[in-house]
Amino acid sequence: VTVALAALLPLAGARRSQDLHCGACRALVDELEWEIAQVDPRKTIQMGSFRINPDGSQSVVEVPYARSEAHLTELLERVCEKMKEYGEKLDPSTHRKSYVRVISHDGTKMDLSGVKIDGDVASSLKFACESIAEEYEDELIEFLSHEADNVKDRLCSKRTDLCDHALHIPHDEL
């Protein structure tokens, strides 16, 4: 029995780590998409060269600010702070952990039954989020700078394998 348990412990630890990194990736994408949606769609930023061409013109274009690289980079620097607004939920049938918001964006009451809220969960999630944001910054900017569908699945499952078990996880709206 001891040998069997010793063989299973690394698997449990690996699954816990996979659940954490998958949850952090999915929460990170949710938070970024929510932040992008909060920006006035009419707000633009000038991109391009500010040098004057020989004909006296400038090669400057205006792009929507919400999905600009400048805005996304700024969001990536601070978005992982939002992980303290998440708790851990254990699926009773699969024993897999998922991470859910415990504080709504709009102040509506949330069903927190079965959700574990503690500082260790929040700090682990924040650390995982920061690691993912740093390691996959280019991919996040690439996906989010264009209005891509299913960014969570495309980034967290297909591009990174952080959620290779999670293609069946239902999409949740924030």
Question: E strands within 76-155?
Answer: 86-90, 97-101, 115-116
Q: pLDDT value at position 105?
A: 87
Q: pLDDT value at position 30?
A: 94
Confidence of residue 129 (pLDDT cuts 50, 70, 90): very high
The pair of structure tokens assigned to 169 is 């996880």
Q: pLDDT value at position 6?
A: 46
Q: pLDDT value at position 1?
A: 55
DSSP conformational letter for 106: S
Q: Report how far residue 76's alpha carbon sits from residue 137's, in angstroms, rounded to the nearest whole number.
A: 8
Confidence of residue 165 (pLDDT cuts 50, 70, 90): low
Q: Report how far residue 46's alpha carbon sits from residue 111's, in angstroms, rounded to the nearest whole number.
A: 43
Q: pLDDT value at position 110?
A: 84
pLDDT(82) > 80: yes
pLDDT(170) > 80: no
Q: pLDDT value at position 169?
A: 46
109-124 per-position pLDDT tens digit:
888 888 998 889 999 9
C-beta of residue 136 within 8 angstroms of C-beta of residue 65: no
pLDDT(167) > 70: no
Mean of pLDDT over the chain: 83
Q: Report how far residue 134's alpha carbon sits from residue 140's, in angstroms, rounded to the nearest whole number.
A: 10
Q: pLDDT value at position 15?
A: 63
31-72 per-position pLDDT tens digit:
999 999 999 989 988 877 667 778 877 777 788 899 999 999
